[in-house]
């Protein structure tokens, strides 16, 4: 942290010396009194905050601390040390120093705002600063637990920088306060696409409070604080649910399954059969914006989707059948005998996310859609899925169907979307009360389920009781399949304290032995587990220390009072 602050102050000092030719773009070089005397400059400075959100590179389709690559749902072409639980203490960690550098900038804006006479004129950038300060501190707490909490742009010799870490609960309480301040200051409606509004602050508050509430409940057994946080999460979610400007993305033309699938690849050019663009998507409350020309994603995301990301059997088995039941309890489940039978009668999100062997699909490598109707699937206009590789499962979430240069796809990454808020609400209500009514489920979780599955049986207390289900387990499963590949699973396992159950052992793929795969994929060379499933990772471990990342050694050397997270000493 000391190094990060030092670099920041050096940059700011250089900027002050060059103030006469200062570039008023949203950079850290805005530090003198003249700059902070103009309301417009606060907005310019706050623009940089939007580049800090999660994105495809950090949470979606690349390895990062929140990525599903570090969970039990995905494997890559090579082993992942974090997925296997064998990561070690790093010398440095940009997630640690980078967040503190960003916090310095938010504190800088808020500090200068204290003496600005017209607070109404800078209300929005102040709200943005409060939001992103909470955003960065929440990230630090998720990764490292207890962290030093500063609310001013402190100098290098400030004792706070060399003191002990603050308790994570106190840091989260400060985040909650910041998000409430943000909600008070931000506009009702985003000033433009991709900007914050009151509902974004409340939506993120529901995430923060639910996360720490479950952490306090399952790790610290602190039910008093947990219940307060669950109440905060539910109330914040309710405010967003009441905001009519946001709604689940759905198109009558596309239908439920394809509405879910196409939502993730919307662009402002022809990219789906209904001709819908980003403007038609009211589900994204906050998104990391991309554009084919101005700001492409920058990853070969379409090709990587089908050839570098391999879902595990655990994900595939979590999709419920159309009768609302898990596969082991459903009479509708067709078994594993054929290469496609497990897809039958399942949650449509399974068929919208995972490629079914033999199905027609498109990418941007000479097999793209042109007519945007059924004729595109004819002849050589489409590819035919073959899942005979790696885990035997393939995903096509994030894969375009239009002609576009590699790495130039321009769809947005959903930092916060309404479906998550509905699921936050359902979980918070259940955790708070130990129960949830059918009416509460219908106003939240079932809206998410029925968007993709209009004929699927709703989750209800009657369904749970009649079939010996666990309501909390069903709520968690719904969350997992809805938010797959968006950077939630490993954090959820950590806060629920179930990673010690879900993460150790093996990462396996399809059931190969005794099924059609055994004859159709006869050259499969991976070892099999005791059930005949393909093994991709073995000897995965999870120790108590893995619930938090280790502090980087360089920061511990700079400030010995930081200590080290338990188990990493």
Mean pLDDT of 208-212: 99
The whole-number pLDDT of residue 25 equals 40
pLDDT-derived band at 21 (thresholds 50, 70, 90) equals very low
Judged against a pLDDT cut of 60, whether residue 341 lies above it is answered with yes
Q: How far apart are CA 389 and CA 387, in angstroms?
A: 6
- Give residue 366's pLDDT band: very low, low, confident or very high (50, 70, 90): confident
Mean pLDDT across the chain: 92
β-bridge pairing 74-75 and 310-311: antiparallel
β-strands 360-361, 533-540: how paired?
unpaired
Q: What is the pLDDT of residue 32?
A: 67
Phi then psi for residue 321, to 5 deg, are -80, 170
Q: What would the pLDDT profile of 107-133 be if each residue is shown by its tens digit?
A: 999 999 999 999 999 999 999 999 999
Residue 460, pLDDT above cutoff 90: yes
Average pLDDT over residues 89-94: 96
Q: Residue range 526-551: average pLDDT?
A: 97
The pLDDT score that the predictor gives to residue 154 is 85
How confident is the model over 180-197, as pLDDT tens digits?
Answer: 999 999 999 999 989 999
CATH number of 2-186+551-562: 1.25.40.390
Cα(386)–Cα(535) distance, integer angstroms: 19
| Residue 562: burial class (beta carbons within 10 Å; 0-12, 13-18, 19+) | buried
Residue 545 has pLDDT above 60, yes or no: yes
Compute the radius of gyration of the chain from its Cα atoms: 24
Listed in sequence order, the residues at least 6 apart from 392 whose beta carbon sits closer than 8 Å to its beta carbon are 509, 510, 512, 517, 521, 534
Predicted confidence (pLDDT) at residue 390 exceeds the cutoff of 90: yes
Average pLDDT of the segment spanning 482-509 = 97
Instruction: Please state, in angstroms and as integers, the Cα–Cα distance from residue 322 to each residue in 250, 442, 455, 457, 459, following that order.
Output: 19, 17, 7, 6, 11
Q: How many CB atoms lie within 10 A of CB 500?
A: 16
**Coil vs helix vs strand at 338:** coil
pLDDT at 499 > cutoff 90: yes
Min mean pLDDT across 58-67, 105-114, 142-151, 431-440 is at: 58-67
Q: What is the mean pLDDT of residues 510-532?
A: 97
Higher pLDDT, residue 309 or 510: 510
Share of the chain above pLDDT 70, in %: 94
DSSP 176-223: HHHHHHHHHHS-SS-SSTT---HHHHHHHHHHHHHHHHHHHHHTS--H
Take residue 569 and report the two structure tokens written for it: 């000493």
Higher model confidence: residue 491 or residue 31? 491
Show the tokens assigned to 516. Answer: 């059609």
pLDDT of 31 reads 53
Report the pLDDT value the prediction gives residue 8, as an integer from 0 to 100: 39
Mean pLDDT, rounded, for 229-255: 97
| 23 pLDDT more than 50 | no
Residue pLDDT, tens place only, 251-297: 999 988 899 999 999 999 999 999 999 999 999 999 999 999 999 99
Show the tokens assigned to 116: 């600005």
pLDDT at 226 over 70: yes
pLDDT in tens, 130-167: 999 999 999 999 999 999 999 999 876 678 878 999 99
Rounded mean pLDDT, 322-331: 98
What is the number of residues in the chain? 569
Assigned token pair, 331? 């009479």
Q: Is the pLDDT of residue 30 over 90?
A: no
Section 443-465 average pLDDT: 98
Band (22; pLDDT cuts 50, 70, 90): very low
Mean pLDDT of 541-553: 98
| pLDDT tops 80 at residue 493 | yes
């Amino acid at each position: 942290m000391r190094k990060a602050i030092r670099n920041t102050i050096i940059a700011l000092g250089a900027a002050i010396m060059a103030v006469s030719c200062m570039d008023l773009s949203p950079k850290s070089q805005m530090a003198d009194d003249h700059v902070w005397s103009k309301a417009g400059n606060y907005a310019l400075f706050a623009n940089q905050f939007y580049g800090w959100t999660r994105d495809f590179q950090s949470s979606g389709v690349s390895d990062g601390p929140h990525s599903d690559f570090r969970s039990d749902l995905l494997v890559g072409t090579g082993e992942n040390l974090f997925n296997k639980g064998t990561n070690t203490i790093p010398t440095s960690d940009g997630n640690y120093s980078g967040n503190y550098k960003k916090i310095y900038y938010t504190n800088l804006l808020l500090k200068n705002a204290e003496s600005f006479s017209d607070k109404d004129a800078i209300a929005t950038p102040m709200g943005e600063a409060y939001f992103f300060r909470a955003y960065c501190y929440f990230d630090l707490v998720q990764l490292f637990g207890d962290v030093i909490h500063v609310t001013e742009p402190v100098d290098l010799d400030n004792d706070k920088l060399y003191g002990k870490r603050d308790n994570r609960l106190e840091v989260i309480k400060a985040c909650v306060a910041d998000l409430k301040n943000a909600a008070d200051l931000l506009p009702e409606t985003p000033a433009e696409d991709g900007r914050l509004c009151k509902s974004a602050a409340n939506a993120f508050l529901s995430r923060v409070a639910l996360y720490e509430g479950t952490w306090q409940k399952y790790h610290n057994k602190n039910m008093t604080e947990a219940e307060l946080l669950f109440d905060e999460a539910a109330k914040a979610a309710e405010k967003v649910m009441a905001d009519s400007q946001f709604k689940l993305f759905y198109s009558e033309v596309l239908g439920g399954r394809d509405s879910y699938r196409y939502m993730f690849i919307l662009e402002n050019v022809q990219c789906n059969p209904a001709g819908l663009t980003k403007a038609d998507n009211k589900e994204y409350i906050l998104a990391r914006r991309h554009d084919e020309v101005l700001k492409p994603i920058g990853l070969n995301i379409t090709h990587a989707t089908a050839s570098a990301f391999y879902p595990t059997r655990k994900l595939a088995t979590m999709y419920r059948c159309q009768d609302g039941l898990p596969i082991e309890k459903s009479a509708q489940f067709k078994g594993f005998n054929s290469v496609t039978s497990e897809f039958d009668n399942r949650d449509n999100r399974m068929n919208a996310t995972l490629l079914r062997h033999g199905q027609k699909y498109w990418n941007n490598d000479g097999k793209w859609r042109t007519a945007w109707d059924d004729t595109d699937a004819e002849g050589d206009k489409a590819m035919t899925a073959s899942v005979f590789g790696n885990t035997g499962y393939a995903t096509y979430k994030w894969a375009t169907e239009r002609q576009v240069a590699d790495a130039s796809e321009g769809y947005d990454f959903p930092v916060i979307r309404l479906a998550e808020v509905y699921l936050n609400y359902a979980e918070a209500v259940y955790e708070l009360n130990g129960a949830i009514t059918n009416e509460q489920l219908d106003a939240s979780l079932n809206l998410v389920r029925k968007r993709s599955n209009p004929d699927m049986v709703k989750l209800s207390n009657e369904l749970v009781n009649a079939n010996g289900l666990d309501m909390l387990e069903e709520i968690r499963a719904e969350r997992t399949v809805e938010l797959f590949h968006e950077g939630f699973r490993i954090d959820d396992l950590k806060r629920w304290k179930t990673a010690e159950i879900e993460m150790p052992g093996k990462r396996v793929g399809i059931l190969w032995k005794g099924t059609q795969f055994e004859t159709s994929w006869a050259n499969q060379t991976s070892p099999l587990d005791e059930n005949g499933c393909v093994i991709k990772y073995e000897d995965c471990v999870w120790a108590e220390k893995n619930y938090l990342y280790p502090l980087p050694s360089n920061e511990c050397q700079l400030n010995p009072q930081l200590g080290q997270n338990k188990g990493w000493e």
